Structure 1
């Protein structure tokens, strides 16, 4: 049995969302939260938009790069064409022709400005005559044009301009063999000059023009087709099976144990296996819930068969199980008791019983998981109270939860001494009785054997025979006295009280318990004044009270000690004008704690110092007997300093004074 809870069909509680998930849920509309298909389509649309944006950016970048490469190739072709024209003009030393070539180049379509620079950076010829003679060393930065340098390659630079990006080509005109006469050798002068051409700004590439428009349109059409196919596939293969699975889950969570996903969702893919597993799990859950319900019915029937009231209580004080005997005792419906707090159902309290005022089994077992007994007053449904003796034990479930099982026995009448209890006490005195009878019988046997030997031999005198017979008579009197003590204790209590001599009653009890006192190493001291003191009581019950008190004292002194039995007339007071008597039994044992002194006179409360478990009825019987005598019993004790029980008894003079009044 793993637990004692009643199986109920309740919706499955969902875990509380985290802080981030809660903020996300608050920002998303409910219609979108309620459908996975909508969220998938929304995610797909967002992915398509992002893909389209990336595609447009890529198209623009690709278009721009293509245009730039075409522009750069055209620039290099133009530069090579004019390089040949310039070299021919240089060979002919036609300076005017060179100026005309630069002017013609500057007026070509797409060219903004053309200049021919010396290796030192001075403009020699230009399409705009005002630029001739100006310095342009910055445009030649990075080009090695001097002796010892490797002939540089043409350099293409893109610069931002008001109309768009502008291309500038710096085209070195290399020194050739045919130019040696004017410019020297190629080793000393590798470059004759640099042709610097600035082209018109290149218009920005837009998605709506040129190849960008074609590429963007084709990409968007492809994405739209992809989105349509993916949407249909997700809806058919994911959203629809998940919707059936979610519907079946909701029905199962609401208590419909027969809910199943169904055959259409059982495909060979992952979702099909999940649906098949869900149906198998639901079938097993339905079977397990049925088995648990059957076990619960059997368990309820089992505890209902127990004649004593039974409760099973959880650590939170909630009742897990109650049998019909408990319902009959308290007048409550057992079905309504399950789930209620025990202090509410049993005592009508809103809070748990205060552990400082009551011996609560749940609190005690929580602190020390062991069996215990306690007394408690329960409240019935009609408001009346019933006293019960509770025997509680811990029950640890497989989950580690410690439940408390309480078995109750109602105490409908005051506890008083019974014939069975008296005979049980006499059984406890068997050791002392056997010793008291065995020794006299052994002496009698020795005396008779000696007498028989003397008579057979004929050498025994009359005086010696008389001595042996007197010894036998004395030992027989001892046996008779012992049996009379037992007979007095086993008598049924009378209906009326009689004057009882205290000293003979005390002597008889100590005679029966003498052997146990000697075996435990306990010394007994008796001091009763006056010696002929008499009290009003039932002699058998008074002897039983003394036996119980002396037995308790012996149990409290496992290592030996001293018992003092003292009797004195009670001091005169308005309530007791010199007519009461006090008989005290004091020991040097372990003592009684303050918390236990209020509980020791309750029935079935047992806290023996020797570790043995008693009946818990001894002091309760003493209290009931003293109350029947018209007296009372009190205790004074502290831990480690022994205990003193005092019997407050009435004297015959007090009874006479009462009758006269």
Structure 2
């Protein structure tokens, strides 16, 4: 075995070792990407279960409160109609308890709380049923005696504490998952950087082996030329030994031809290795002209190798990179200061069809036969960027949901406390009057006489007044709880996005509100408006609320005037609902979209939910709403929605 053959085999073994390392690296990268995708999916499912669990907890507390309120109404009035909400709530409560158990099956601590919650719920419902039966059979006095035992309040307090603990635990689990997702994203970035650096080193080594094989071939050709020269001298000097010399020369030529074939085979194998690499590999010269491109590079940019070889590499770059590339290359050749060469970085490429995409670029430099060649290794990172954007969107969504939960908890603890205090105070007042009435009916005390006027005063004034305050408190709590339920269901409502004839929709709303407009002595004008893209039912709710608010907050000292206009701009449509009402001070304009916030409660009835729901509906449909107003100068509400041209373009 000759020295040249040994060197060739050694080079082949090195190439095979490099190829094996590349395949192992690709397998590790694919496995790591699979783990990241699996973790992302698992995190998404866990987050959805956590929000579903917290929603069920809120609804369970609301249903228990509804059952308790309705049975109190029955205890006071004795009318069976008050028990209808109690019966409906009881049926739903059992289902909610089962759903809590299903949603918390992956959390042992939450399962324990659910198991502790079930007997408490059963006990609370049993106490309510006991009071109802006592009221039916023995009257309100016996039922009131059961209420005064306060057993129901103690059980309800335990239920609230358990539900609060479950909500706090789920919020902590959400924060933990968010931190874990962030850490995994950081590890993925470092892994991609390391993978790119190793790929550059591996391909640079392969290029160096190609260079060595080329040098060996040139040396063999030089040796062959020298042998031929020596042969001609021997032919002239030794004609007698021509036959022997010819035989020796033929053997030597055959040997050199075999060496050349081996070199060509080795070069072909190296090219095949580069062509089968998953990353795009492009080689350019000192002028930036492409000399070679592998199959992955062709697929990545949409060109064939024939379309790229001999062209400047800047055609694969969008502006402004295309214009600056030749200057960067000239600066490097002159100064030796590298921006990309030897350092991996993230850049933007441009395909044949004009689309751009992000990619990781690593560039190596090598000297071959006195020429400086640059080899770029490119990796399309569109999928990775999409995963990063999805992760960021999930984090932002989690932050928004946490903010909503904080607002709802604050409102629940603040606004529900006031009617509860009133109900408790006037319930005590009713209990006191009942004791006095019972004492009066039992007979005058020894040595005295009962006063019928006092009894009549209790029955006709004090007791109805206390009952009225209790009913008002219950009504306020019902409004707040109904608002909570409407707000919680908003994100789950199905959307049907279609082209909407906004003029016809607004005309229908105007006809429905014609009586309100006449009663207010106002004038409502609907101008020409463009069509939009959205959900017709939900947008009808938005504009009905805006027009209702405009009528509600008119300035009494002048005739009301309300207009609706619209226009199109930059692929969107803009509607303006303008009035000449009392207006909104600048410091309050940012608060009107907050849940349950009402600037002027005396202007009319309302929950403080209309603008909050309108804003949330528009956000789900890629829309926006904002206000421009001045105190005493009227208000203008702006609604921005997608143009129907977007759906026409997709078709």
Structure in which a larger fraction of residues adopt strand: 1
TM-score (norm 1): 0.28
Larger Rg: 1
TM-score (norm 2): 0.29
